[in-house]
Amino acid sequence: MNSIGQGVQEIRIKDVTGAFRVIYVAKLADAVHVLHCFQKKTEKTSKVDLELATRRYRELLQELSR
């Protein structure tokens, strides 16, 4: 998911209750940072979900650079 940031990945999960997404980055430091997880209600990922993950990614980069 380079639209959010470099190294950001997505896990897609489908089961009988619906579709779920986990957006994370594992490229930084020695940890996996989950930026956002949610249940998908439509086929396209909403702008709100993408913006939230992008904001959290930027905040994470700022925190790690201190």
The ranges assigned to domains in the chain are 8-64
Q: If pLDDT is split at 50, 70 and 90, which confidence band does 66 have?
A: confident
From CA 36, how far away is CA 25, in angstroms rounded? 10
The reported pLDDT for the residue numbered 11 is 97
Q: How does pLDDT run across 6-57, given as a tens digit for each residue? A: 999 999 999 999 999 999 999 887 899 999 999 998 889 999 999 999 999 9
Nearest one of 13, 8, 20, 7 to 53, comparing CA atoms: 8
Rounded to whole angstroms, what are the CA distances from 34 to 8, 16, 31?
10, 24, 10
Does the model's pTM come out above 0.85? yes
